[in-house]
Chain A
Amino acid sequence: MLRYIAHRLGLALISIAGVVVVVFLITYLLPGDAARTQAGQYATEEQIQALRVQYGLDRALPVQFWNYLVGVVQFDFGQSIRTQGSVTEELLDRLPASLELSLGALLIALVVGIVLGALAARSAGGVTDGAVRGFALLASSTATFWVGLMAVLLFCNILGWFPSPVGRLPRGYDAPDTVTGSYVVDALLAGDPELAGVALRSIALPCLVLGLVVTPSIIKNVRSSTIRALDSDFTRTSRLFGYGSTSILFRDGLRNSLLPVLTGITIVAGYLLGGNIIIEQIFSWPGIGQYAYQALQSHDLNALRGFALLVGIIYVLLNTVLDILYTVVDPRVRTAPAARRTRPSARRPEVAA
């Protein structure tokens, strides 16, 4: 077991090294001149050149790469050319807001995805299945930006169910003292349930929109895994034993389909953290997604690299933890071929004779 964990951690390190190299090269090859963009239209050529020198943009590619590597090893992503602040500090300041949003969205996506996926599997080919698949198709093909905007218009401005998105709290409320970084939790810890409620209402709509956007992949995953499980020998055995359809759905279908679904959830979790740029921008949510959007707008290379690296590292670590978890849940994974590690077969539950 320990050997396997060491092996997985080694692979994670190699993956992170790959992320580090790819992120640098992609951002380096982006069209445009970061110094000129940042300097703006009032800057002279001399001032633009001074910026290039200040941020090392005038150096040769190997020198820039080496300086970048030295910084990354020290978890120092350099200085933002837009804000003049430390990218690492700015990302860490914003990370709690993104984590709160992403975890809330993941929770919604899991509940909705598993319930709808199971319902669709139960009536495969039927009306419910068609409706769920239709919903999944609609949710995955509709532009996130449009969904977000319409949601704000309907739920904030017309129905008034949620406060207008101008950050993590509406007008008239101050942030709670920071403990966890989650306003909802911190407000509860501070003994201020009203503030917690307001914070929850502020985050609810972006969570819903973000959650629903990523739900289709979970629905498809749960549906196909559950259908496979319901078609298996052990499910037929359960039917012969006379178990009810609901019991079979949960005991044989869902329970045996959740393990492969874990893989999908990891992908979704990674997407939620790195792919919520549009949602954060729409809802003026001060997380790392909004930071990345502004960095992209202003060609802030260090900030862009920091964001991509942070998300990449978290993603690799998530996958590593998941792989290790697999071995705890299903020891066969440790000795299985690579192809089976990512999609373990459904386990037959013990059936009392």
Chain B
Amino acid sequence: MIRRTAVRVARGVAVATAAALLVAGCSSSSETSGGTSGASTGSSAAGSGASSGGAAPSKDVIIGYGAVGVLDPIVFKSNTGFMITNNIYGTLVSQEYTEQDGLLVGDATYQPELAESLEWDAAGTLLTITLKPGLTFQDGTPLTAEDVVYTLQRSLSPESYANAFKVYIGIEDETTDITAVDDTTLTIATQFEAPLMEKFLSFPIFGILPKAVGEANKTADDPWATAYFSKNNVSSGPYVVESWPGDAEIVLAKNPAYTASDTSAAPETVTVKNVSDPNQQYLALQQGQLDLAMGLTPKLAKQAESDAAVKVTASSASQLAYLGFNNADPVLKDVRVRQAISYLVPYDTLRTEVMQGFANDAYGPAPYPMASSLDPDGTKVAYPTDVAKAKALLAEAGVSDLTLTLSVNAADPTSVESATFIQSALQEGGVTLNVEQLQSSEYTQKLGEKQLQMFLGEWYSWGQDAVYQMFFLLSSGSFVNYTGFDNAEIDSTLTEAISEADVATRDGLSQTAQQIAIDEAPMAYLYARNYLVVSNPNVSGITQPDDALPYFRYLSVQ
């Protein structure tokens, strides 16, 4: 009896499978033709059970990137997650863009978004923010000044990654310095005139969350409801989360309640798929399964340049790649040794071979095109490759038969490749370099604990501000100053620059600090990585904001 039933089931499955294969064969040409934009109707969380049936043109965009992780802007775990929060939480102000060769490049001006106006008092230490009238969250509840205060206090709390930002915007105590005046007005009291305030308020980490929801979901151990906001979203921005079936993908749909700016031309839905392998991203782009790919390697991007099926958008950016020296190391604490190694690094080779040309020279810690950079056009070189100079410096330092260890993250092919070129170049100067490949977590741990003699690091500052960047990378108290560089002059210069409201004076202080950082060579400045997005040719409106992740509302697919 059981056997007969099993046979029947097996036959049924076989017939069904054959039928499905037959149908698949018949429909094979419709979705693998490639290059056309398909029609994703936006899946519902439960699954609609109906297929949309193929490839009708639409305003739906599909992006290939990684896994989201969590949605809470103050504890995001991945660039993909951060990119999503950019688009689901509205900010008080947003960056303005200028079109350059088909790319919308963020400039130094900021326009009110959820805010209607921002006004400083005469002393420059009290900012009054008035919200636009009639703002609501996606669920229809009003967005008030209380929500903004709650969000800003939350974003500057000890639980938040932005806690360190208080020093840049002059806020001493977020619980008392930020207060609501009425439903549409709030004030922020600062210790000094904060030139970076507007820039910072445009960061997605200050995207507005609903206070009532946060209060309803907080616990004694989790006063800011990070557990809730990590998995749930009540949008105040241009998009809402329509479905999020785990790590595979997240689907955003336009937020009908969002009125702060015109999004009529924005894509109806944006799907971000977890396609973390760069090779797969590229192949899927070629087939039209993706419209945009974030995270392609320079080599793939170079290959894509000669591929008519895709478009490469590259633009100068200030993402600094550097060779870090442990400044406390018995050998490397001598500035002459650090300078010597800086003279041995094969900068041109790294830019052309490793980065395939998608990088500029990095003249110091604040490379072009960062405002107030000592390098106005991305061509200046602080330490040209010069073996003779390097040998002279090593001799002057009394160092011979030098052997050093360079640690790299084995999961980062760019670092691994760079290390090989650097090892070879240092050999020419008589320096033996052992390259140690470490697993990601071990690398991160040893880097954080300053256990590495030399390492390859990258840094990108959301604000694209030289003072802010150097304060993170080089000031003695910074938790990401992995080189352990400790210089009283640069500390005092940066501290003075942070609270300097006059642009010219501030730029002068910035450039003084940059010069110290070049002369002291706490790190070798390898190159400034380009902003790189590969897309289908029919995609336009790609943005290059200060935080280097696209804002979906500007995108369009023809």
Instruction: Tell me if A171 and B288 are in contact (CB < 8 A).
Output: yes
Residue of A with least CB distance to B26: A197
A167 to B283, CA, bound (A): 13
A90 within 8 Å of B (CB atoms): yes
Residue of A with least CB distance to B162: A42
A74 within 8 Å of B (CB atoms): no
A50 to B158, CA, bound (A): 10
Residue of A with least CB distance to B462: A42
Instruction: Tell me if A171 and B51 are in contact (CB < 8 A).
Output: no
Among candidates B226, B273, B276, B439, residue contacting A281 with C-beta atoms closer than 8 Å? B276
A90 to B231, CA, bound (A): 13
Q: Which residues of A contact B23 (CB under 8 A)?
A: 193-194, 196-197
Among candidates A30, A41, A192, residue contacting B441 with C-beta atoms closer than 8 Å? A30
Instruction: Tell me if A31 and B32 are in contact (CB < 8 A).
Output: no
Q: Which residues of B contact A178 (CB under 8 A)?
A: 47
Among candidates A188, A194, A294, A297, residue contacting B27 with C-beta atoms closer than 8 Å? A194
Count residues of chain A with CB under 8 A from any CB of chain B. Answer: 74
Instruction: Tell me if B50 and A174 are in contact (CB < 8 A).
Output: yes
Instruction: Tell me if A31 and B441 are in contact (CB < 8 A).
Output: yes
Q: Which residues of B contact A197 (CB under 8 A)?
A: 20-27
Among candidates B16, B20, B31, B248, residue contacting A286 with C-beta atoms closer than 8 Å? B248
Q: Which residues of A contact B50 (CB under 8 A)?
A: 174, 192
Among candidates A47, A161, A163, residue contacting B289 with C-beta atoms closer than 8 Å? A163
Give the contacts of A54-74 with B (CB-CB under 8 A): 54
Please judge, given known A-B contacts A33-B441, A284-B274, whether A171 and B40 are in contact too, CB under 8 Å: yes
Among candidates B49, B62, B283, residue contacting A156 with C-beta atoms closer than 8 Å? B283
Residue of B with least CB distance to A168: B248
- Taken residue by residue from 79 to 109, chain A's Cβ proximity to chain B (1 for < 8 Å, 0 otherwise) reads as 0001111000010011000000000000000
Q: Which residues of B contact A30 (CB under 8 A)?
A: 441
Instruction: Tell me if B62 and A171 are in contact (CB < 8 A).
Output: yes
Please judge, given known A-B contacts A174-B47, A282-B280, whether A201 and B28 are in contact too, CB under 8 Å: yes
A176 to B287, CA, bound (A): 24
Please judge, given known A-B contacts A84-B227, A284-B275, whether A45 and B28 are in contact too, CB under 8 Å: no
Q: Which residues of B contact A82 (CB under 8 A)?
A: 67, 69, 77
Residue of B with least CB distance to A33: B445
B365 within 8 Å of A (CB atoms): no
A130 → B minimal CB distance (Å) = 33
Q: Which residues of B contact A168 (CB under 8 A)?
A: 248
Q: Which residues of A contact B17 (CB under 8 A)?
A: 184, 200
Among candidates A176, A281, A294, A299, residue contacting B47 with C-beta atoms closer than 8 Å? A176
Instruction: Tell me if A291 and B247 are in contact (CB < 8 A).
Output: yes
B70 within 8 Å of A (CB atoms): yes
Instruction: Tell me if B284 and A166 are in contact (CB < 8 A).
Output: yes
Q: Which residues of A contact B29 (CB under 8 A)?
A: 160
B163 within 8 Å of A (CB atoms): yes
A299 to B443, CA, bound (A): 12
- Taken residue by residue from 240 to 264, chain A's Cβ proximity to chain B (1 for < 8 Å, 0 otherwise) reads as 0000000000000000000000000
A231 within 8 Å of B (CB atoms): no
Instruction: Tell me if B448 and A36 are in contact (CB < 8 A).
Output: yes
A38 within 8 Å of B (CB atoms): yes
Q: Which residues of A contact B64 (CB under 8 A)?
A: 166
A298 to B70, CA, bound (A): 13
Q: Which residues of B contact A94 (CB under 8 A)?
A: 246-247
Instruction: Tell me if B48 and A174 are in contact (CB < 8 A).
Output: yes
Give the contacts of A111-170 with B (CB-CB under 8 A): 149, 152-153, 156-157, 160-168, 170
A111 → B minimal CB distance (Å) = 13
A94 to B247, CA, bound (A): 9
Q: Which residues of A contact B479 (CB under 8 A)?
A: 43-45
Give the contacts of B10-47 with A (CB-CB under 8 A): 16-17, 19-29, 31-34, 38-41, 43-44, 46-47
Instruction: Tell me if B249 and A50 are in contact (CB < 8 A).
Output: no
Q: Which residues of B contact A294 (CB under 8 A)?
A: 67, 247, 276
Instruction: Tell me if A297 and B411 are in contact (CB < 8 A).
Output: yes
Residue of A with least CB distance to B76: A40
A46 within 8 Å of B (CB atoms): yes
Q: Which residues of B contact A215 (CB under 8 A)?
A: none
- Taken residue by residue from 267 to 291, chain B's Cβ proximity to chain A (1 for < 8 Å, 0 otherwise) reads as 0000001111101100110111110
B159 within 8 Å of A (CB atoms): yes
Q: Which residues of A contact B158 (CB under 8 A)?
A: 46-47, 50
Give the contacts of A251-305 with B (CB-CB under 8 A): 281-284, 286, 290-291, 294, 297-299
Instruction: Tell me if A34 and B441 are in contact (CB < 8 A).
Output: yes
Q: Which residues of A contact B246 (CB under 8 A)?
A: 90, 93-94, 286
Give the contacts of A197-220 with B (CB-CB under 8 A): 197-201
Among candidates B67, B276, B289, residue contacting A171 with C-beta atoms closer than 8 Å? B289
Please choose the segment from B52-60, B525-533, B550-558 that sits at the chain A interface, where 4 or more of its residues have CB less than 8 A away.
B52-60
Residue of A with least CB distance to B457: A41
Residue of B with least CB distance to A173: B51
A345 within 8 Å of B (CB atoms): no
Q: Which residues of A contact B290 (CB under 8 A)?
A: 166
A57 → B minimal CB distance (Å) = 12
A286 to B439, CA, bound (A): 24
Q: Which residues of A contact B245 (CB under 8 A)?
A: 93, 175, 286
Q: Which residues of A contact B53 (CB under 8 A)?
A: 172-173, 194
A46 to B159, CA, bound (A): 9
B309 → A minimal CB distance (Å) = 10
Q: Which residues of A contact B32 (CB under 8 A)?
A: 156, 160-164, 170
B157 → A minimal CB distance (Å) = 10
A236 to B558, CA, bound (A): 73
Residue of A with least CB distance to B161: A42
Residue of A with least CB distance to B274: A284
A37 within 8 Å of B (CB atoms): yes
B130 → A minimal CB distance (Å) = 31
Among candidates B25, B48, B440, B480, residue contacting A297 with C-beta atoms closer than 8 Å? B440
Q: Which residues of B contact A290 (CB under 8 A)?
A: 247, 274
With A36-B445, A174-B48 given, name 18 new contacts (CB 8 A).
A32-B440, A32-B442, A37-B440, A47-B163, A83-B77, A84-B70, A160-B32, A160-B34, A164-B283, A166-B64, A167-B274, A172-B31, A172-B40, A174-B43, A198-B51, A284-B273, A294-B67, A299-B440
A-B contact pairs, 22 of them (CB 8 A): A31-B441, A32-B442, A32-B443, A33-B445, A34-B441, A47-B158, A54-B221, A83-B67, A83-B69, A160-B29, A160-B33, A164-B286, A165-B284, A166-B280, A170-B38, A172-B41, A172-B52, A174-B41, A199-B20, A282-B277, A284-B248, A294-B247
Sorted nearest first, the 9 A-B pairs with minimum C-beta distance are A32-B441, A197-B24, A171-B38, A286-B248, A299-B441, A197-B23, A172-B38, A31-B442, A164-B287
